[in-house]
A and B are shown apart, each in its own frame.
Chain A
């Protein structure tokens, strides 16, 4: 099922929970709605499901408006963060419930429940009540209940956040595989960028009700459209430093208090005419900083070993930067190091709007 959001707005009184969201989700696509709490991602999901009426704008399924349809008429399956199983029914009855409401005959109902239970490997626990199931099992039952009616669209509201860390990693892979095997269009709401990066075909990143950027995980990581995206995607987050972009004799240079760095002109989104300079925010990811070479001088402030890598906090005068480097470098606190920012890896943003000044090349 193709899902289209057209200038979708949902206001609660003066609060603009979702503000002008346009998004096109292809058939069989796995899209993550990502953002911090209160960014409007759950509101968007509940509007797609039909629990909220949009203040303005439209939701379209396969090109047809569905605003007038009740949730039960939209042919969707949904899994909630709390799983929301019916406590008074066994796992079997929970899964069979949507079929029972559809009036599917008992024999067929049993067969379908068994099938989906086998798919999710919960055949053994069908007679148990939700209170007798572990969190992981409850989640599988909730997923089975959403899948059993073969919905055209699967909506997942933070389904992994109540699982322990280890199980979450297992379920991440399983869910991704399952989605591809079944080919159900899926919208996945999460605040965890790792979940979104690892599972989704495309990510729609929201903040304060507005869409910040939509694209593949790699696009969002490599070509963030603004400082919000740059700071949200990637762990540890991107370093930001104030600076100026200077154009002189067709050469572009970033000038900050502590270093100057040439920028290839081809990377600019818009040509930078004549001789002038503007204020910019300079950004570099911790993992892109090269230590041990280059002309910039810094001092090691903190070393946090993380197994293979170490997270180094560096001081450049008053500014601090995080760098993710190999543990083999054996850096010590107080040590002076040379560092380098590869010009292809740096990011530049406009201070006012936060918009990226560098072009977002498409991945091929």
Chain B
């Protein structure tokens, strides 16, 4: 049994540690995030952001984007319009419609994929539930537009970004995701290969058994029994 109010005391210990160590500790976990005088000419190198084209770090997370492999956005789109993210989204900001070809057959990609940025709260749950690694978080926060509502509803083609872009904004995370995907793919292929081999072997064994049976029983009158299926 835990002490009553233990959770509060634990939380207070964490914040007090931050408070005290922010004055003394220089290590990464407790360093001050505010960079002073970064805009002044001749600012020391450690106050400048890591990349020249952005002011945010690789740890920043903002609204979700869709990923595609290769150069053609719709050719390499990872999303298969399974609608898991649409169902899991707490504020329900995602709207998806499946795509069908002329025969009315479901082709695995979204015809419509909209995210309402005025509703999205950047919780990242869509990223966590996606089984296809198709949706990840962006770090773009400068989203001001000249009109009032236009920029709020992001459509599929605006959301589609290349895997290279993802590697640029969140290098470590993208690498880890690629590695995991490659590993999963290899495992799947190995499994498939093993299954194929087993099937082939079984077929061969069956054929051999049939040949053997035919050899041992020259009379063709007795049909082969089903075995212990």
Q: Do A and B come from one complex?
A: no
